[in-house]
Structure 1
Amino acid sequence: MQDFNIQDSIKGIWDKLGGWLDSLILNLPNFLLAVIVFILFVIIAKYVGRIFERITRSHIKQDSIRLMTVKVIKAIVILIGFFIALGLLNLDKVLTSVLAGAGVVGLAIGLALQGTLNNTFSGLILSFLPELQIGDWVETNGYAGTVTEINLRNIVIKQSDNNYVVIPNSKIVEEPFKNFSRTSRSRVFVNCGVGYESDLEMVRDLTLEVIKEKFPQRGNEEVEFLYSGFGDSSINFVVRFWIDATKNRDLLGGQHEAIIAIKKAYDAKGVNIPFPIRTLDFGKNNLTLNKAD
C-alpha cells in the first residue's frame, strides 16, 4: 500500500513537471518576445532620458532637479515596458496584483512623506519657473539675498551679511516673493524736507535738475518731485527716479548718491534742511520761573 502511494506521488510529480515543460515550450515564443520588448524599452528609456536632458538643459539650471527628472522619466518608460511584457505573457492576474500592490504602496509612501513630496513637487515647479533662477536677488518669507541653490527640497539664499538661509520649496510656492533681478531698471524713492522759509518752486526745480544730471532717465522714464506734507520742522517731499538695479544694494547705492548730490546742491544755494527743534515761548504762555526764597 505504501509503495503504491509513493509511485502515485512520483507519477504526479512527473506529470506536473511535464505539464510545466509543455507550457514552457508553448509559451516560449511569448516569453522571448516579452524579454525582447522589455530590453527594447530599457534602451528606449536611455535615449528618451538623453533627449529630455538636452532639451531641459537650457530651461533647468539646477543639475540635481534636471537629473532627478530624467530618472523619473526613464523609470516611467521602463515600467510601461514591464507591464507590456507581462501582458504578452498572459499574466493578467499578476499584472492586476502588481498594479494593486503598487497603488497601496504608493498611498502608504505618499501619506508617510506628505511634506517631503510637497517640497519635491514644489521644487519641480520652481525649476520651470522663469521668475526664480540661481543668482537672482529675492525677498521672501522675511529673508532677502541671492539665490545660490535650488534643489528638490529647498532653495538656499545667501544674505547680505554672508549667512545662508535654507527655505523649503513649498514655502516659496505658497508665499509671495519679490525678485529684484527680473527687471534691469527700478525706481528709487528719496524723502527729504526743507525749511518753511524756503522758496518751494526753486527747491523743486533745483532738485529735479540735480537728479536728472546724476541719473539720466530713459525712454518714458522721468524724475518726479512731489511735496508730501507739512512736517513739525519742515515741508516734506519725495523725489522718485529710475536707475539700473538688479538687487537691493543697487537701490541703496542710488539713494546714497542722490542724498549726497541733493545736500551739496542745497548747501550751494543756501537751502535749509532743518532738524527737529523745540521752542519754549515763556511770554506768550505767561510762563514764569519761581526763584527760591
Structure 2
Amino acid sequence: MKTRLLIMLISALLAMESMARNTQGHIVVVSDIHLLSPELVTPGSAIDRIDAADSKMIAQSDDIMTAITDSIIALKPALVLLAGDLTYNGERLSHERMAKHLDRMAAAGIQPLVIPGNHDCNNPYARRFDGDKTSATPTVTREEFAQIYSNYGYGKKFQRDTASLSYCCEPIPGVVIIGIDSNMDENNTLKSRGDSTDTYHNGGRIKPETLQWVIDRASQARGQGKRIIAMMHHHLVPHFDQQDRFLANYIVRNHNAIAPQLMEACIHAIFT
C-alpha cells in the first residue's frame, strides 16, 4: 500500500511540474478571504470589536481582496481557484462584492472558479455593522450562491452534481477541475426563515452520492488522458497529528476512507 501511495504521489508531482513549465497554465489558489462588503460597515465600536478579537482583518478585507485582484491581474495566470469562505458570514452583499472582484479578473482574461466554505451559505450570523450596533442582513441560499457565481463554477457550461454545489469543468485544455462541496450548511437553521433557533454547522463531509459523482468525473477525465485537480474547503488529510481530536471540524468526516478513493481515481492534487 505504501509503495502504491508513493507511486501515485510521484506521478502527481510530475504532472504538476509539467503543467508548471507551461506559463499559460499557471494556477493561483486563494482561500479564506472572509470578505465583508463595505456597504455593511459604518465605522464604530461594533466593527472595531470584531477587528480586535479576530485575526481575519475583516474591516480591511475588501482592500485586501482588491490588492489580491490587482496582483493576479498583473501575474496573468490562466486560472484562479478560490477554495471557500469567500465571505465573512455569508452576507448576500459580500457575495455580490466578491463577484465584482472576480468580474475584474474575468475582464482581464483570467478564469476564476469558486467553491463555498462553511461560512458562505445559509449563515444565521450574517450581520451589518452600524457604529456601535449590529443588525441582521440577508445571507444566501445555495441556489442564490450558484446564481451569483454562475460564471465561476455554476453556469450552463459547467457539469453540476445534483446532490451538492460540486461541479466539473475543463478551463485549460487537458486539465479538468473538480470543485467539491464539503459543507453541511443545509443543516443550519435560521430564525429569519421561520426556524425556532439559529444553528450553524461548520464541519465538513462529502455526501456518498457526491463522492461517487466526483469519482465518475475523474474516471472519465482519466480515460481521456487528462490531468485532474480538485479543490474543496475542508481538509482531506490531517495537517498535524491528532487533528481529528482537537480540530475535527476542519477536516472532512471519514477522510481516511475518502482520500484513498480519490487517489485511486487519479486526482493529481486537491487544494483546500
TM-score by length of 1: 0.19
Question: RCO higher in 1 or 2 (8 Å CA, sep ≥ 6)?
Answer: 2
TM-score by length of 2: 0.21
